[in-house]
Amino acid sequence: MSAPDLTELGEDIVVASTRLARMATRNVNTLPHAAMRVLGRLDELGQARISELAKADRCSQPTMSNLVQRLEEQGWVRRAQDPADSRASLISLTDAGLAELRSARHQAGAALAAHLSQLPATDLTTLEAAVAIVHKLLTLEPLEDTSR
């Protein structure tokens, strides 16, 4: 595939995955969407500073601080002093936070299952293969951009 074709494929994947995630989480009633994003990020990355979480979530540091404070009040995250910088905190997922995230993911999966059940077996097999490819894609290192 040529670079423009790959760009179009990339755009299609982003649009479809975003819409699919919105559809799946529309009726998740355990977690607000922003909380699910932060807990998911901590599950993916492990502990992180608020500034790193804000950058990853593309929000301001004060916005992330407020969100983390609410998650901490729920018992879903904990703060620990950053050994590299005593002025900073490291945020990590608690067992309760992980349980809440798993519950929300299960609800989203169940919402998708209702739609998946309407597909033929060949499409489900194709989707299983596509998910494996997406996981592989997520582990690849980005290539250096030579277009500049």
* Residue 146 banded pLDDT, cuts 50, 70, 90: low
Mean pLDDT of 117-139: 96
* Residue 148 banded pLDDT, cuts 50, 70, 90: very low
Q: How far apart are CA 106 and CA 139, in angstroms?
A: 24
CA dihedral 140, 23, 42, 143 (to 10 degrees): 20
List, for residues 56-107, the tens digit of each pLDDT value: 899 999 999 999 999 999 999 999 998 888 888 999 999 999 999 999 999 9
Quote the pTM value.
Answer: 0.81
pLDDT at 147 over 80: no
> SS3 for 80?
strand
Q: Which domains does the chain have, with CATH numbers?
A: 3-103 (1.10.10.10)
List, for residues 27-64, the tens digit of each pLDDT value: 777 778 889 999 999 999 899 999 999 998 999 999 99
